[in-house]
Amino acid sequence: MEKVVLGQIVAPHGVRGDLRIMPLTSNVQLFMDMDYLLLPDGRRLQIVSARPHKNVILVKAAEITTMEAAQALRGQKVSVYREDMPELPEGRYYVGDLIGLPVFDEAGNRIGTFKDVLPTGSRDVYVIAPPEGKDILVANIPDNIREIDLPGKRIVVRLPEWDEEDIR
């Protein structure tokens, strides 16, 4: 079964073994919605509670009851099974599903590979890694993002006119 990484354990929190997890997803609500997390070795942690705290998520797992047990997990990534993740509304995507997809312009020329998303507050910005040169930044607005075809494994964008000549 396919796993999706949600975060990385960065430290224990308190003496009862709570985990400080740095989210590796913009949808931190997933931590509150899921009832388990998977460790890289396959062990399953039952989530008793989860809540945001500053820039991390504090998770209480039933199996971790001491600070030492939590400390032993420092640095490990936590994931869930893909099929357990909530369905997204039409036109919304998990970033992990987009990373690595080839990106084409409207003429069908491959311009690079989808690399990341930069949240800006108003609109996300997609980061495209070209074969050479600097990353290409494309605002996630309907005029720019022409098609996202997950089954066909491709993204089609319209590059801003002012950027087409000096894209690299």
Mean per-residue pLDDT, 112-132: 91
Phi, psi (rounded to 5 degrees) for 74: -55, 135
Given a cut of 90, is residue 166 above it in pLDDT?
A: no
For 45-69, what is each residue's pLDDT tens digit? Answer: 999 999 999 999 999 999 999 999 9
**Domain edges within the chain:** 3-83, 95-163
Answer for the pair 108, 146: CB distance below 8 angstroms, yes or no: no
The answer as to CATH 2.30.30.240 being correct for domain 95-163 is yes
Please tell me the CATH superfamily of domain 3-83, with its number: RimM (2.40.30.60)
Rounded to whole angstroms, how far apart are CA atoms 149 and 49?
36
What's residue 52's pLDDT?
Answer: 95
Q: What is the pLDDT of residue 27?
A: 81
The pLDDT, as a whole number, for residue 165 is: 54
Residue with tokens 């290409």: 136
Average the pLDDT over 19-42 and give the result: 92
The model's pLDDT over 147-159, given as tens digits with 9 standing for 90+, comes to 999 999 999 999 8
Measure the CA–CA gap between 155 and 132, rounded to whole angstroms.
19
